[in-house]
Amino acid sequence: MNKTVTINISGIIFHIEEDAYEKLSKYLAAIKSLFNKADGGNEIMSDIESRIAEMLQGKTSTVKQVVLMSDVDYVIDNMGKPEEFVSEAMGSGDTDAEVGNSGEEPVKRRLFRDGDNKVIGGVCSGIGHYFGFDPVWLRIALLLLFFFGGTGILLYLILWIAIPEAKTTADKLMMKGEKADINNISKAVKEEAEQLKKRMEKYGKDFRDLSDRAAPRNAAEKAIDFMGDVLTNIGRVLFKILGVLMVIIGLIFFLGLFSSIFGVSFMTSNVEGSEWIDMVLLDGKDFYIGLIGIAIFVGTPIVMMIYGGVKILFKVRYSNRWVNLSAGILWLVGFVMLIYVGTRTSQDFNKVAKLRENIAVQQNDTLVLKMNELSINYGELEVSDEKEEGERNYYHGHRNGYMIGKHDNTKYLLGNASLNVIKSQNGTTDLVIVKEARGNSKDMARLRAKHIVYNVVQQNNEIIFDDLFRVNSLDKFRKQDVTAILRIPVGKVIYLDKSLESLIYDIENVTNTYDGDMVGRRWKMTEAGLVCVDCEGLISVSDHYNGKDDDSDADKELNINVNGVNINAKDASIKVDSNGVNINSKESKVVIDKHGVHVNTAKDK
C-alpha cells in the first residue's frame, strides 16, 4: 500500500505516489529555476507543464489511475534533464552554476502570490506561505495600516506588482517550499556548518599556498580570488540590509509625503501641505494638477524604492520592464505637471503693486503705541495640538512670516505686519499704511493689495496696531506685505509699549538701540532722530527686571525659593523649611518638626 498525493498540472488532476511526487516537484523546480531569467520563462514553463500533463495522462487510465515513479522517470527521460536543456537550448555560453543541482537539493522556498487562496491578489497568502503563518494576521495588519494614510493599500499594490503569481506547478511548489520543521532546520544547519568548514579549510589552504610563494603569480591570483569571495559574501549581506533599509525608509517617506500633502494626521505633525498648495496655486485645475503632480513626482521614486527593496528582500528575480517603464513615464508626467503649474503660478507673481493709505493722527500728548494680538482670534477652531499656556495659538506654525488661519469658517492667509517710526517732514503726525501684493498684471496686483485687511485703531492718545494683516484665501498668497509707517514731527514724544516687540522692525534711533530694547520706553523725535527719554542708567530691560528681584526678602508676602516656602498674610503665616512646617494664625498654631506634631489652639492658652 502506498500513499498518494493529488496534484494539478495544467488544470488536470493526477493522483501520484508520494515518492514520485517528490521527484517530479524537484524536477519542475529545477527547470523553473533554469528558465526564470529567460525571456518568456513563464510561457516556456507552462508549455512544458502541459506537455508533462499530456504524457502523464497517456500513462494513466481508468485501470491504472495512479502516477508511479516509473512514469515520472519516463517524463524526465523524454523531456530531458535540466543539464541537457541548457547545453541544447541555450548554448554552452549560458550554462550557469545553478544547473548542477538538478534534482537532489530540496526545493528552496521562494515568495510567490498564491492565486488559489486569494482575497484580492494573493499577496498575503503568498507571504504567509513564505514565512509559514496564517495570512489572516497579515490581512488584519494591512487593514489596520490602511487607516494610516492608506499605507496598507500602497504596500499591497507594490507587493502585488513586485511578487510574481505562482502560475505553474513548479511555482506553487517553490511557494510552499521545504517546510521548516525541526528535521529540516537541523539538516540545514548541519549543511551550513559543513559548508562553512569546507570554505574555511579552503581559505586556510589558500593562505598556506600564499605563504609558499612557490608560484607568486598563482598566489596573487588566489589572493584576489579569496578577497573576491569574501567581498561577495559581505556584499550579499549588505545588499540584504540595503533592501530592508529601502523598504523602511520608503515607507517612512511615503507616510511623510501622504500626511503632508493630504493632511492626514500622522504622529503629531499637523501641518497640512495641501492648505499651502491651495494658498499658492490658482484655484480650480491648477490646484489639483499641482497636488497630483507633487504626489506623482515625489511618490513614484518612493514607491519604486519600496518596490526595489521588496525585490531584493525576497529575491524576486524576474524583472518587469512594464513596471519600470510606467514608473518612468509617470514620473515624467508628474514633472511636466509641476512645470506647468509652476510656470502659471510664477506668472502670477510677475508684477508688484504698492498701495499707500494715509491716516491722520491727532497728537496732543505723548502718543502710546500698542499691539493687538490678532492671531489669538484665528485658528481657535482648529486647535488640535496641546500648547503651552501663553503660547500663541496659531493654526499652523510660522512659515516665512506667513501662516494660515481660520476664522468663522473662512480661511485666511495671515502675515506679520511691521511698524516703523520716522521723522515727519511737514510738522504733522500721520500714519502711512503701505500694502503690497503681486499679480500677473499691475491691476491684479493692485486689486490684491487693496484686498489686504489691516486694522489700526486710534483711541485718545493710543494707537493700537494689529500684529497681523489678513488676506482672504481666495486672493491667494502673492507676497502680500503691510508696513505701517508713523511719521512724527520733531519735538513730539511716543511711548513704545512692550507688546510692540514683534511688530517693530529696525526703527532707527540716535543711540542705535535694538528693537527689543526700544520697547517699554519713551522716545522723542529730534532733528537727528529718535532719542530715548527714560533710558538713563539702564543698560537693558532685562537688567532692570533682575535688579528688582534682588531686594526681595522674608517680609515679602509670598516667597518661594530653595530654602522653602514662606507665606505671610495679615493675621497668619505658613512657613515650610528644613526645620519642618510651621503654620501660625491669630487663634492657633500647628508645628510639625523632629519632635512630632504640635497643635495649639486658643482654648489651650
Partner 1 sequence: MVNSENTKAQMRKGVLELCILSILSQGDAYPTEIIEKLKETKLVVVEGTLYPLLTRLKNTGLLTYRWEESTSGPPRKYYMLTEIGVTYLKELQLSWAELVDAVNKTIQPKN
List residues binding partner 1 (CB under 8 A).
Answer: 10-12, 31, 35, 38-40, 43-44, 47-48, 50-51, 53-54, 57-58, 77-81, 84-85, 87-92
Query: 363: which residues sit within 8 A by CB, 6+ positions away?
Result: 429, 461, 488, 492
Nearer to partner 1, 320 or 502 (CB): 320
* Smallest separation, CB 16 to partner 1 (Å): 16
**Core vs surface per residue 195-215: b (16+ CB within 10 A) or e:** eeeeeeeeeeebeebeeeeee
CB atoms within 10 A of CB 478: 25
Report the residue number, 34 or 437, with the smaller CB distance to partner 1.
34
Tell me the CA end-to-end span of the chain in Å, nearest whole number: 110
Nearest approach in angstroms of CB 8 to partner 1 is: 11
Nearer to partner 1, 35 or 454 (CB): 35
The three cell numbers of residue 448 are 490684491
Phi-psi category of residue 379: left, alpha or beta, with phi > 0 → left and psi -120 to 50 → alpha: left
* CA separation for the pair 128, 121 (Å, rounded): 13
Cα–Cα distance list, 182 to 179, 185, 190, 393, 499 (Å): 9, 5, 12, 61, 75
Q: Decide: 135 and 156 in contact? Cβ < 8 Å.
A: no
Least distance in angstroms from the C-beta of 84 to partner 1 = 5
Report whether 281 contacts 290 (CB < 8 A).
Answer: yes
Judged by CB, which is closer to partner 1: 74, or 340? 74
- DSSP label of 366: P
51/392 with CB nearer partner 1: 51
Q: Considering beta carbons, is residue 10 or 502 the nearer one to partner 1?
A: 10
DSSP H stretches of helix in 453-558 = 515-518, 541-550
Closer residue to partner 1, CB minimum distance, 31 or 504: 31
d(CA 361, CA 429): 6
- Smallest distance from partner 1 to CB 57, Å: 5
Indicate the residue among 78 and 511 with the shorter CB distance to partner 1. 78
Burial (Cβ within 10 Å: 0-12, 13-18, ≥19) of residue 263: middle
List the grid coordinates of 195: 559548508
Distances (CA, A) of 345 to 351, 354, 477, 604: 12, 20, 10, 86
In whole angstroms, how large is the CA radius of gyration of the chain?
41
Residue 29 vs 163, nearer CB to partner 1? 29
If the CB atoms of residues 58 and 397 are measured against partner 1, the closer one turns out to be 58
CB of 319 to partner 1, least distance (A): 16
What is the nearest approach in angstroms of partner 1 to the Cβ of residue 157? 28
User: What minimum distance in Å lies between the beta carbon of 384 and partner 1?
Assistant: 58
| Residue 170 C-beta: closest distance to partner 1, Å | 13
Q: How far is the CB of 342 from partner 1 (least distance, A)?
A: 43
Tell me how far, at minimum, the Cβ of 4 lies from partner 1, in Å: 20
